[in-house]
Amino acid sequence: MSSIIKVTQVKKNFGKQTVLKNVSLTVEPGTIYGLLGANGAGKSTLLKIITGLLKADAGQVNFGEMIMPKAQIEIQRRFSFSGQQSSVDDVLTGFENLTLIAKLRHLAHPQKIAQDLLTRFDLTDAANKAAGSYSGGMVRRLDLAMSLVGDPEIIFLNEPTTGLDPASRNDLWKMIRELKAKGKTIFLTTQYLEEADQLTDQIGFLRDGEIVATGTPTEMKRLAGSAKLQLTFADEATATQAAATLATYRVTAIDPEALAVDLPDGNMSSLTILKQLDDAGMTVVNFGLVAPTLDDVFMKLTKGVD
């Protein structure tokens, strides 16, 4: 499959500060790409360069055959961009905000476009209320709806759910998934690992001005290492004795009575471990498998934690 977005060796300095050292990535059509990185890693800067809002010092951004910024106008017609600052006008109603955008884009039937989007984004009841009276979740939904006026092919979202409560975040995730189901390509930045895990097909992890890791959420979780078997014992003495019995494994103490044992050979090795403890006469009070999470990857990649 040929990529819809291709970023090649992009560099950006602000004065003496190098923000993007050498960034390359590709996004496949109809997928959700998640750009992850700590605060200040350069996610917004990269997004601005890709969307033509900021000029790179070096490197290239392609949208299929078209090159940014040479074909900026044609490219910008194909995408929408929802930044961290909402473009919703508080004084106007939801309906008015949407019709205004449709009129500014010289689209036919702006009122029908507005009605359809209000229905799709579950805002019909609030259609005639000033957007200033909307909840945070409703404003985000309206903002996303506004970015879809004109039916763009690619949707850029900069931290789409920052500051939302879990229910509103879930609503927005559902809507983002629906956009993908309609064949849209979505490029989002996020600091929420759960968001990347829930939504994305491909993650790029930005650190020190480079994409240091890339892959599906599952592949990224593998980077964090193997699954662990968590074992709880009746007391500290048994836990210490168990750690000695399992000396051939990598064992870490979670608290005085509990251990975590790395399972480099997969989950089945937990049976061998439990048998080994049983043979040594040690009673395990509780046990469970703990799969690595994107949090573990984030910790490992941002802080170099092993």
Measured from the CB of residue 82, what is the shortest distance to ligand ATP in angstroms? 14
- Asked if 42 is part of the footprint of ligand ATP (rule: CB under 6 A), the reply reads yes
- Asked if 41 is part of the footprint of ligand ATP (rule: CB under 6 A), the reply reads yes
Burial class (CB in 10 A: 0-12, 13-18, 19+), 230: middle
Measured from the CB of residue 191, what is the shortest distance to ligand ATP in angstroms? 6
Among 7, 27, 34, 45, binds ligand ATP (CB under 6 A): 45
Are 141 and 120 spatial neighbours (Cβ–Cβ below 8 Å)?
A: no
Among 5, 25, 37, 238, binds ligand ATP (CB under 6 A): 37
Measured from the CB of residue 294, what is the shortest distance to ligand ATP in angstroms? 16
Measured from the CB of residue 47, what is the shortest distance to ligand ATP in angstroms? 8
Binding window for ligand ATP (CB under 6 A); candidates: 39-47, 225-233, 257-265, 297-305: 39-47
- Asked if 179 is part of the footprint of ligand ATP (rule: CB under 6 A), the reply reads no
Residue listed under structure tokens 């003495």 = 237
- Asked if 110 is part of the footprint of ligand ATP (rule: CB under 6 A), the reply reads no
Number of residues that bind ligand ATP (CB under 6 A): 11
Among 14, 216, 290, 305, binds ligand ATP (CB under 6 A): 14
- Asked if 19 is part of the footprint of ligand ATP (rule: CB under 6 A), the reply reads yes
- Where does this chain bind ligand ATP (CB under 6 A)? 14, 19, 37, 39-45, 191
